[in-house]
Amino acid sequence: MAEPETAGSSELFLGRQPILDRSQQLLAYELLFRNSRQNAALVADQVQATATVVTNAFSELAVGDALGPYRGFINVDRDFLFSDMIELLPRDAVMLEILETVTPDEAVVARVRELKGKGFQLALDDIVGLDEDYDELLTLVDVVKVDLQPLSQDQVRAIVDRVKPTGARLLAEKVDSKEQMEFCHALGFELFQGYYFARPTIIAGKKLDHSQLALMRLTTLLLEDADTVELEKVFKGQPGLTVNLLRLTNSVACGVRTRITSLRHAITMLGRRQLQRWLQLLLFANPQGGGVTPLLQLAATRGRLMELLAEKLRGRAADLPDQAFMTGIMSLMPALLGQSIEDILAQLPVPPAMAQALVVPADGERPGLLGKLLSLAEASEGGDPATVEPLLPALYGITPAVLNAAIAQALAWANEIGRDAGNE
């Protein structure tokens, strides 16, 4: 039994997908734990390995801390549902998703009632229909996740009518289009999850306001190594942007212990490297406040993840981590600006290696180390080992364990930024 547990832990792939509320603000993550080497035939070993890697993720990888204020949704099958190890999970930080393969018999209902009594929250996953066997279970679970993919609109309406009287919250999953999102929104769904939100298309076509245009101008000046006085001129024309910058640079995530009180002070204390990355992240922040945009979370996480992974590469160039962070941020600019990456690069003098990594060639394989790191970061956001595992051999020094630790650190860093952007 010990060998499968060890293999499971070392080969764990951790992915995550955002879950949003009706205002499209980040509310939770679905955490996707995948083990590409589990043997499906050895059921007992598989359950033990699954339980081990999930609990280890919350201890060794500090995923609980990385989630910050967001709850983590975790898939559980029947065996894991009845495992004692499930009770080691932090009940205030997780939502247990009961897989669609679990038959809602008397034993399952009793176990769900027991876990509810111990403070756990539970959801039904991938629901495409609800017969009378689910009557009692529906009164116990907190969330019902409706799989939109195979359902017609009439079938979705039938499920909604069935769930609403129970008081459970409805979550639309596999939302792939604006039309699906609007349809479910009108039906009263409270939570949303899917590629429409997770992929960088949520703000496509948005017109830039004056502050964002100024951010683009400042980014260009920094890339051109312009004088500080030139930077200050742009800031002086944007008082709101100045306040926003000072607020974020004074945050815990910035790592500066001295309170920053002026533009010149910020530029001096932070240095151009830090100033540039904060300017890039400000592009993705909600200028009106009142919540954290999914795009800010994704940009911050992706940039930081690529930086952390670049630091682990053996034989890397000294400036690779900085370039990796910037590549991660810039990969999401087409979603923010509603422009092609080619048009954006025409306005910004980025290094050739970054430009090559950002423009996807016809064969779909991004060139160079930056390209490989970006591909790995994008793949990890889906949590599918079939796309993650083949990318690792080309990145010498990046193992599944290194990747997972970096994901947890990047999430924690992004959550700190999100807290400061949304609450101050």
3-state class (DSSP) for residue 28: strand
212-236 burial: b if 16+ Cβ within 10 Å, else e: bebbbbbbebbeeeeeeeebeebbe
Which of the four pLDDT bands, split at 50, 70 and 90, describes residue 370? Answer: very high
The residue among 52 and 90 whose pLDDT is bigger is 90
> What amino acid is encoded at 125 in this protein?
D
Residue 171's pLDDT is 96
Mean pLDDT for all residues in the chain: 77
Per DSSP (E only), the strands in 71-120 are 71-76, 94-98
Nearest C-alpha neighbor of 79 from the set 106, 111, 53: 111
Q: Is the per-residue pLDDT at 338 higher than 80?
A: no
**Whole-model pTM above 0.75?**
no
Q: Is the per-residue pLDDT at 7 higher than 50?
A: no
Q: Is the per-residue pLDDT at 317 higher than 80?
A: yes
Rounded Cα distance, 125 and 142, in Å:
11
3-state class (DSSP) for residue 172: strand
Return phi, psi of residue 96, to 5°: -85, 115
In this structure, what token pair is assigned to residue 239? 């008082």
Q: Is the per-residue pLDDT at 39 higher than 80?
A: no
Q: Over the stretch 249-266, which tens digit does the pLDDT of each residue have?
A: 555 445 555 665 566 776
Q: Is the per-residue pLDDT at 381 higher than 60?
A: yes
Which range in 140-149, 242-251, 288-297 is most confidently predicted, on average pLDDT? Answer: 140-149
Residue 41's pLDDT is 34
DSSP string, 201-234: TTTTTPPP-HHHHHHHHHHHHHHTT--HHHHHHH
Q: Is the per-residue pLDDT at 216 higher than 90?
A: no
Residue 90's pLDDT is 82
Nearest C-alpha neighbor of 280 from the set 207, 330, 205: 330
Which of the four pLDDT bands, split at 50, 70 and 90, describes residue 4? Answer: very low
Average pLDDT rounded to a whole number, residues 305-310: 94
For the ranges 129-143, 178-192, 242-256, 285-299, the lowest mean pLDDT is seen at: 242-256
The residue among 283 and 43 whose pLDDT is bigger is 283
Which of the four pLDDT bands, split at 50, 70 and 90, describes residue 365? Answer: confident
Rounded Cα distance, 112 and 78, in Å:
11
- The DSSP bridge pattern shows strands 12-20 and 26-35 to be antiparallel
Residue 74's pLDDT is 86
What torsion, rounded to 10 degrees, do the Cα atoms 179, 182, 188, 194 define?
Answer: 70
Residue 417's pLDDT is 66
Residue 24's pLDDT is 77
Structural domains in the chain, CATH included, are 2-198 (3.20.20.450), 203-424 (1.10.3210)
The answer to whether 304 and 334 are in contact (CB under 8 A) is no
The residue among 219 and 170 whose pLDDT is bigger is 170
Share of the chain above pLDDT 70, in %: 71
Residue 204's pLDDT is 33
In this structure, what token pair is assigned to residue 418? 């999100």
For the ranges 151-155, 162-166, 205-209, 228-232, the lowest mean pLDDT is seen at: 205-209
Average pLDDT rounded to a whole number, residues 137-144: 94
Residue 162's pLDDT is 92
Q: Over the stretch 101-115, which tens digit does the pLDDT of each residue have?
A: 899 999 999 999 999
Rounded Cα distance, 282 and 420, in Å:
11
Q: Over the stretch 198-207, which tens digit does the pLDDT of each residue have?
A: 554 333 334 4
- Identify the bridge partners of residue 7 per DSSP, sorted by sequence position: none
Share of the chain above pLDDT 90, in %: 22
The answer to whether 348 and 301 are in contact (CB under 8 A) is no
